[in-house]
Amino acid sequence: MSFALYAGGFAIVICGLIYAAYLLHIPAHWIVVGAVVLLGFGILTGVKATRQKDPAG
């Protein structure tokens, strides 16, 4: 699975959560904080899931 595909899916999830938070009338600064935290989490998990394993030799 490529990193771009993983990142694209995670971006869709983040956009959906942002929209849900907007509909729940959560203040904009908390929405931004949550989006930044989720973006960082998405990058970390995406790199971990898609990196190539180093050869043992």
Cα–Cα distance for residue pair 2/27, rounded to 1 Å: 34
- Please check whether residue 47 is in contact with residue 3, taking contact to mean a CB–CB distance below 8 angstroms: yes
Q: How far is CA 16 from CA 10, 46, 56, in A?
A: 10, 18, 41
Max alpha carbon distance in the chain (Å)? 55
Model pLDDT for residues 16-47, shown as the tens digit of each residue: 999 999 999 999 999 999 999 999 999 999 88
This prediction has a pTM of 0.79
- Please check whether residue 53 is in contact with residue 32, taking contact to mean a CB–CB distance below 8 angstroms: no
Confidence of residue 11 (pLDDT cuts 50, 70, 90): very high
